[in-house]
Structure 1
Amino acid sequence: MAEPDTTPPGVSYVMPVYNEIHYIDDAIDSVLAQGYDGPTELVLALGPSTDGTNERVRARAADDPRIRIVENPDMAIPIGLNRAIRASRYPIVVRVDAHTELSDNYTALGVETLERTGAASVGGVMVATGRTAFQRAVARGYNSPLGLGGASYHVGGDEGPAESAYLGIMRRDELLDIGLYDENINRGEDWELNKRLRDAGHLVWLNPALRVTYWPRDTWQKLARQFRATGIWRGEIVRRSGGRSPLRYYAPPALVAASALSLLGVLALATGLLAPDTGPIALAVLTAPTALYLALLAALLLVRSSGETLRERAAFVVVVATMHFAWGAGFIGGALFGARGSVDRSRTES
């Protein structure tokens, strides 16, 4: 009687790449260094980079047969991911990004979790970090419930069923069955994909022991562009789903709307549109949410912890406010008018 095959299933890593010259080597190295006993390949979907990224990737591919390349002239992330998945050869697909680095046991633990739970998609925790002072402040915003609302794939939690999976260790057949990533969604494509997996009766699972280092945007302009684009596409997804989304997604647009009402109240009182006898009361009601938010920012600025300097606290306050207002304003536009092909230009512009 033949012995059962105990070889771990093959794994295809898929990575969309565009203008990542400062991060691409570390991202590739973290994939190739995975301690996994099964066969592996890395399929990179190359966009039309202008910073030398593609030349570097082609040089790496010439030296390592595990690295394969598909062209992604459209530059869109979901299109690149789909091209890489279709070109992949193995039953397990692991999404990675050029701004990420996988922990050493990420693949082995992720595949074990897939097999143990029967899930179609498994994810872990994004651990944002930074090289510069501003990037470290952005990383703190990512890792804090004050920044991104406390989703389990940002702040961790208990292992179990999840709404979505960060990046994702997934079964290729199930991805093909649901039609892969929606190529009409330029941001939030992972959440939408996992929603369709859940709608199809599949299990999405969080294992917080899976850790991924993420390098966020490193300038204020890039951060604002990224979060505005992400907010627009979240608004588009909520628009498509008839408003069925976790409540945390509505907090930033509510803040933006409240701040706009506060400003209109101040202008109305200053121009006499609010009656002098009732105006101050109406203004107090209109400005209360904004005043509470400003008080929170002031507390973040004034309360010192872990030896932080005033400059570090100020950077964190700027980051948090930028995340909330850029995302919230984008969400309102996307929910009301649709995304209309909006793209994230935070990697194409300085």
Structure 2
Amino acid sequence: MAAAPPDRAARWTGRAPVQLLLLLVAVLAGTLLFPARLVLAPLGFALVLSALLFAAERWPRGFDRLFAASLPVPVWAAAAALLALAFSGALTVAERLTAETAAFALLTSLCLPWLVALAFDGNARRAASTRLRVPTWPLSVLSLLGLTGAFVFGGRLPSAFEAAVFAGFLVVSCIVAVVVPLTLAQVRGRPELDETFGGDAPFVSVLVPAYNESDYVGACVESILASDYPTDRMEVLVVDDGSTDGTYAEAAAYRDDDRVSVYHRANGGKHAALNFALSCSRGEFVVTVDADSVLDAGALRTAAAKLDANPELGAVAGTVVIDNPEGVVGGVQALEYVLGINTLRRAFSHLGSVMVVPGCLGVFRREALVGVGGYDPDTVTEDFDLTLSLLKAGWRVELSEGVVYTEAPFSVSDLLHQRLRWTRGNVQTLCKHRDVLWTPAYGSLHRFTFPLWACSLLLVPLAGALVTATLVGAALHGTLPAVALATGYFVVVLSLVAATALDVSGSDWRLLAYVPLHVVGYRQFLDFVVFRTLVGLLRGSTERWESVARARQEPSDAPSAGVRAPADD
């Protein structure tokens, strides 16, 4: 059989080296605007980290011999403190020890052990007395980062502007030196799959949980039935989870097709609806599709073929595309999906540790899904929780080129509600699976993806707050031109990164217009969401998730007229 024509991502690999070189030149051009150390040290850190990650994939046993050795928690904390003392001693010998540098050393000695204590819910005494052993890999990375900062600032406390620029170069350097090379390796390393399956295709069960999805669930079911997957190898199970509108009636209209089953049950949450559908299904592969999503015609076949070709895969994630990128709110989200979500998933896919199989399209091996017990009610981001459980169970999780279209919130208030839920669930899930940080057996999940996810959720907002404080301080003290110049530089570099991501995915180039908002505006909005979520969790609040407004649904507080919910199935 003739090979299928290469997709856009595969064709991108020919242009990738030139684009990567251009990105490196853009980062190095920062030396014309900032002190060379402020640019080169973060880039050096990112290059070393990238080399270590690729080495870990190439020589995992050798890497583990170097970095999977573990230390008891008290020894780990003592080593961190001794490192800070050694740093202070070096400053003394160099005659650079001042009140500021001593404070820097003290801060280092306090922060590193506290990172371990955080894994025990902030109980430092418990951390000091536990028998748990912590691998040297986190200490090595933190030490490398500390040495990078010490090299840049010479042991003194940086100003807010310097700290903001340093944080910016760390983020940009990690994107250029780590994320883009991993993305290139993922695209180049994909095997050419025979999506005809040769014999019988795996039987797939498509689960569609739905709550108040009238005017959406019908289009979702139609897109599934219109897939080019073999019609006799598929079943569709729609579960109406106690909807108060016309969702059940709309879905039940498709019961004439023998492949479609529709159930109604009392509202129990998405996880309960999915577990119920799983218990009723019989497919070798289990596909989950959100009721407000629409599948591309080849998405199901592409994802199932990828899962079928590699027995080590427990699940594959679909490629999510925003289908309503109109306006500022839609545009910034569309760029976020291309730049932040899908590009990171490509990088993680090379490592076999995609962190989230999205609810709008995920394909699971039944053995893997049942093996981890299905969906848990512990968090409000059940897809993230499940994916981490699969990775910890030893399954690989990768990205599929199968495309699913979903509608993004189109108002700021709805976007806020959505992101508060996501962030709350992410924090809950990270806390639930925090043992990943000290368990080298989890491989790349322990070495890279889980720590990066945690840092991007908790530390990037801190850096964003620094940038915001710097902008406000500059406006008050008359140094706004310098801050504007730095902001303009990072907008240019991020635009080049976004252009690379758009080229990989084949997305609309007009989305580049929203890059400035990802530096100033939308970034601060996301930081606010994180801080508000953390404050809420500390206060013990139990916010409920409220559905966002939908473009095809008329706002109404009452159930749709003439719609009567059936008895629970």
Provide the secondary structure at the position in 1 that maps to 2:376: coil
Q: Distance in 2 between matches of 1:313 and 1:205?
A: 27
Provide the secondary structure at the position in 2 that maps to 1:142: helix
Alignment pair present for 1:92 and 2:294: no
Confirm or deny: 8 A CA contact 2:223 2:297 kept in the other structure: yes
**Highest RCO, 1 vs 2 (Cα 8 Å, sep ≥ 6):** 1
Q: Distance in 2 between matches of 1:318 and 1:15?
A: 38
Q: 1:95 to 1:262 in 2, by over 3 A?
A: closer
Q: Distance in 2 between matches of 1:233 and 1:264?
A: 28
What is aligned with 1:230? Answer: 422
Provide the secondary structure at the position in 1 that maps to 2:239: strand
What is aligned with 1:320? Answer: 522
Alignment pair present for 1:218 and 2:410: yes
What is aligned with 1:274? Answer: none
How far did 1:140 drift? 1.9
How far did 1:334 drift? 6.5
Q: Distance in 1 between matches of 2:431 and 2:263?
A: 33
Q: 1:347 to 1:44 in 2, by over 3 A?
A: farther
What is aligned with 1:32? Answer: 225
Confirm or deny: 8 A CA contact 1:128 1:142 kept in the other structure: no
Alignment pair present for 1:344 and 2:545: yes
Which one-letter code corresponds to 1:81 in the other structure? L
What is aligned with 1:162? Answer: 353
Confirm or deny: 8 A CA contact 1:224 1:322 kept in the other structure: no
Confirm or deny: 8 A CA contact 1:137 1:315 kept in the other structure: no
What is aligned with 1:50? Answer: 244
Confirm or deny: 8 A CA contact 1:12 1:42 kept in the other structure: yes
What is aligned with 2:374? Answer: 180
Provide the secondary structure at the position in 2 that maps to 1:20: coil
What is aligned with 2:66? Answer: none
The unaligned stretches of length 5 or more in structure 2 are 1-197, 438-449, 496-507, 556-569
Q: 1:68 to 1:308 in 2, by over 3 A?
A: closer
Q: 1:100 to 1:116 in 2, by over 3 A?
A: same
Confirm or deny: 8 A CA contact 2:205 2:281 kept in the other structure: yes
Deviation track 1:112-146 (CA, whole Å, cap 9, x = no partner) reads: 2112111111123111220643563254243243x
How far did 1:10 drift? 1.4
What is aligned with 1:276? Answer: none
What is aligned with 1:14? Answer: 207
Once structures 1 and 2 are overlaid, which stretch shifts more, 92-101 or 108-117?
108-117
How far did 1:83 drift? 1.1
Which one-letter code corresponds to 2:295 in the other structure? L
Deviation track 1:241-276 (CA, whole Å, cap 9, x = no partner) reads: 3384342443454455567689999999xxxxxxxx
Once structures 1 and 2 are overlaid, which stretch shifts more, 240-249 or 161-170?
240-249
Q: Distance in 1 between matches of 2:328 and 2:468?
A: 29
Confirm or deny: 8 A CA contact 1:253 1:331 kept in the other structure: no
Provide the secondary structure at the position in 1 that maps to 2:224: helix
Map 1:1-350 to 2 at 5 A: 6-37=199-230, 38-61=232-255, 63-118=256-311, 119-130=313-324, 132-134=326-328, 136-145=330-339, 148=341, 150-152=343-345, 161-164=352-355, 165-166=357-358, 167-187=361-381, 189-207=382-400, 209-242=401-434, 244=437, 245-251=450-456, 253-254=458-459, 256-257=461-462, 320-321=522-523, 324-333=526-535, 336=538, 342-347=543-548
How far did 1:95 drift? 0.8
Q: 1:25 to 1:238 in 2, by over 3 A?
A: same
Q: Distance in 2 between matches of 1:291 and 1:255?
A: 21
Provide the secondary structure at the position in 2 that maps to 1:151: helix
The unaligned stretches of length 5 or more in structure 1 are 269-278
What is aligned with 1:272? Answer: none
Once structures 1 and 2 are overlaid, which stretch shifts more, 30-39 or 327-336?
327-336
Q: Distance in 2 between matches of 1:115 and 1:308?
A: 35
Which one-letter code corresponds to 2:257 in the other structure? D
Q: Distance in 2 between matches of 1:252 and 1:192?
A: 16
How far did 1:323 drift? 5.4
Q: 1:35 to 1:87 in 2, by over 3 A?
A: same
Confirm or deny: 8 A CA contact 1:162 1:204 kept in the other structure: yes
Confirm or deny: 8 A CA contact 2:299 2:403 kept in the other structure: yes
Confirm or deny: 8 A CA contact 2:334 2:511 kept in the other structure: no
Q: Distance in 1 between matches of 2:353 and 2:530?
A: 24
Provide the secondary structure at the position in 1 that maps to 2:408: coil
Q: 1:137 to 1:267 in 2, by over 3 A?
A: closer
Q: Distance in 2 between matches of 1:249 and 1:289?
A: 28
Provide the secondary structure at the position in 2 that maps to 1:205: strand
Q: Distance in 2 between matches of 1:220 and 1:10?
A: 41
Which one-letter code corresponds to 1:163 in the other structure? V
Confirm or deny: 8 A CA contact 1:137 1:316 kept in the other structure: no
Provide the secondary structure at the position in 1 that maps to 2:404: strand
Provide the secondary structure at the position in 2 that maps to 1:324: helix
Number of aligned residue pairs: give it. Answer: 322
Q: Distance in 2 between matches of 1:16 and 1:136?
A: 25
Q: Distance in 2 between matches of 1:149 and 1:13?
A: 23
Confirm or deny: 8 A CA contact 2:223 2:294 kept in the other structure: yes
Provide the secondary structure at the position in 2 that maps to 1:161: coil
Deviation track 1:79-102 (CA, whole Å, cap 9, x = no partner) reads: 211111111122210011122222
Confirm or deny: 8 A CA contact 1:232 1:342 kept in the other structure: no
How far did 1:337 drift? 5.7
Which one-letter code corresponds to 1:241 in the other structure? H
Provide the secondary structure at the position in 2 that maps to 1:80: helix
- TM-score, scaled to structure 2: 0.48
Q: Distance in 2 between matches of 1:321 and 1:122?
A: 29
Q: Distance in 2 between matches of 1:306 and 1:94?
A: 31
Confirm or deny: 8 A CA contact 2:321 2:334 kept in the other structure: no
Confirm or deny: 8 A CA contact 1:13 1:41 kept in the other structure: yes
Confirm or deny: 8 A CA contact 1:13 1:95 kept in the other structure: yes
Backbone CA RMSD of aligned residues: 4.2
